[in-house]
A and B are shown apart, each in its own frame.
Chain A
Amino acid sequence: MEEILKIEGLSKSFDDLTVLEDINLTVAKGEVVVIVGPSGCGKSTLLRCINGLESIEEGKVLLDGETVNPTTGNIRKLRERIGMVFQSYDLFPHMTILDNIMLAPLKVQKRDKAEVKKEAEELLARVGLSSKKDNYPRQLSGGQKQRVAIVRALIMNPEVLLFDEVTAALDPEMVREVLDVILDLASQDRTMIIVTHEMAFAKAIADRVVLLDAGTIVEQSDPISFFESPKTERAKKFLSTFEYSKQ
């Protein structure tokens, strides 16, 4: 399979706190990689390194052979090719839904306005939010905002999509509508790296599951092996935190 993203010996620390240590990960075109792990293990930092929101001291992130480095001139071009959706709602509050979606294609890609508008409306329809296009973010529920954020990333036609716990801040009844949108993307063969705590979703969508703990990859395998016969003690322990039984 053709590889699109390659992370080589990536280490990252904040002052003297080491957050990521010697991460090696290769993602193939069309592959869905789900990253799981306890809170604070470095999942967000890893995603932020991938699209150059964090500086990298050691190791490399390569997108299709090009090094991602926030201090070099081509970082904007690379970011255009990597879409990211964050955990906290990050729509621009002073713009309508349509304007939020159209900003980057118009200003960054300098595409034709009529064409961008048409695509934005089609994508909104696909996530069931056509009626909200002229509303402001404050008029939407959390789940609706996250669906718009996904559309906003999608319209740039990125080669890789990064999702950082996009349902973690949502009320339970809204989680599903967002995850369904991501499942729909997987069926279109999008390359995605997804950080999530929704294990049933991870099992359904992943081609590969990666367990991150204390900044290192402790186990990675296909979802069936990972969830049904985890190899490491650490993975067993992590998975057991999602199980409940009456004592």
Chain B
Amino acid sequence: MGIEVIFKGKNLIRLLEGLGIAMKISMISVAISIVLGIILGMLMTMKKPAVNAVLRAYLEIVRIMPQMVLLFIVFFGITKMTGINLSAETASLIVFSFWGTAEMADLVRGSLISIPAIQYESSMALGLSGFQTYVYVIIPQIIRRLIPLSINLITRMIKTTSLIMMIGIVEVLKVGQQIIEANRKTSPKAAFGVFAVIFLLYYLVCGPISALSKMLEKRWEN
């Protein structure tokens, strides 16, 4: 079956380490994206034409550029143009945050404008200050809308980290390929076993995250 290669030597540990790198890059990027995305998303609802034009352009660029192209531009392009030597990991963090921030900003903007004006007004009419209105009325509603959507973004990021092997990072998929290469003679069917295990690993990571988001969505539907 080819599954036995997984248990040869340090292969399983190496696969898990690869998964760890993928997780690390996506988690740091997600954290950065959430913070910057909230700020940009709020800026986008402030109806400042100049700010909006810039942010729209940013969103469009992120939307039309494949992540792989962004990775190449940042990793090879920046190094060539500026002479600054970015590590592959830094380049990945930049690209994933650049992408994630755009998506988060759009989600935050969408959640903000989906809160009806009457929610602000009835809160103010009760005598709450603008700050209290945000803290007790608006932000809790936005978080409820935002969490399932950002969890979806997290799982997409974890999956997309498979691209970073293209700039030389040895993440889980790359480790898998190395194992298959190394055992080509002795276990020609290793590919099947290795990919099955990688599939399982992705599933073990993303499955619970998606399940959590479904659960929260159910609990908060209104």
Contact = CB atoms under 8 A, between A and B. Distances in A.
A19 to B, nearest CB: 17
Interface stretch (A87-95, A117-125, A177-185, A187-195): A87-95
Nearest to A89: B118
B222 A107 contact: no
B128 A107 contact: yes
Interface in A70-127: 76-77, 79-80, 82-84, 86, 88, 90, 92-94, 103-104, 107-109
B121, B126, B140 — most chain A CB neighbours (10 Å): B126
A68 to B, nearest CB: 12
What is the predominant secondary structure among interface residues of chain B facing chain A? helix
Interface string B180-222: 0000000000000000000000000000000000000000101
A218 interface: no
A29 B126 CA distance: 21
B132 to A, nearest CB: 6
A88 B118 contact: yes
Contact of A84 (B116, B125, B136): B125
Interface in A134-178: 136-138, 149, 152-153, 156
A25 interface: no
A214 interface: no
A69 interface: no
A54 B128 CA distance: 16
Contact of B126 (A94, A108, A137, A138): A108
Nearest to A84: B125
A1 B119 CA distance: 36
Given A107-B136, A136-B222, A137-B222, A94 B129 contact: no
A194 to B, nearest CB: 16
Nearest to B127: A80
A78 to B, nearest CB: 8
Interface residues of A, number: 27
B124 A53 contact: yes
Contact of A86 (B122, B128, B140): B122
Contacts of A86: 118, 121-122
Contact of A92 (B119, B124, B127): B119
B11 interface: no
Given A80-B127, A108-B126, A152-B126, A94 B220 contact: yes
Contacts of A108: 126-128, 132
A196 interface: no
B55 interface: no
Nearest to B220: A94
B14 interface: no
A27 B187 CA distance: 92
Given A86-B122, A94-B220, A94-B222, A79 B127 contact: yes
Interface of B: 116, 118-119, 121-129, 132, 136-137, 140-141, 144, 220, 222
Given A84-B125, A93-B222, A94-B220, 7 more contacts: A79-B124, A79-B126, A79-B127, A82-B125, A90-B119, A149-B122, A153-B125
Top 8 nearest A-B pairs by Cβ distance? A80-B127, A104-B126, A90-B122, A108-B127, A93-B222, A84-B125, A138-B222, A79-B127
26 contacts: A51-B125, A53-B124, A53-B125, A76-B127, A79-B124, A79-B125, A79-B126, A80-B126, A84-B122, A86-B121, A88-B116, A90-B118, A90-B121, A92-B119, A93-B141, A93-B222, A94-B220, A94-B222, A107-B132, A107-B136, A108-B126, A108-B128, A108-B132, A136-B222, A137-B222, A156-B127
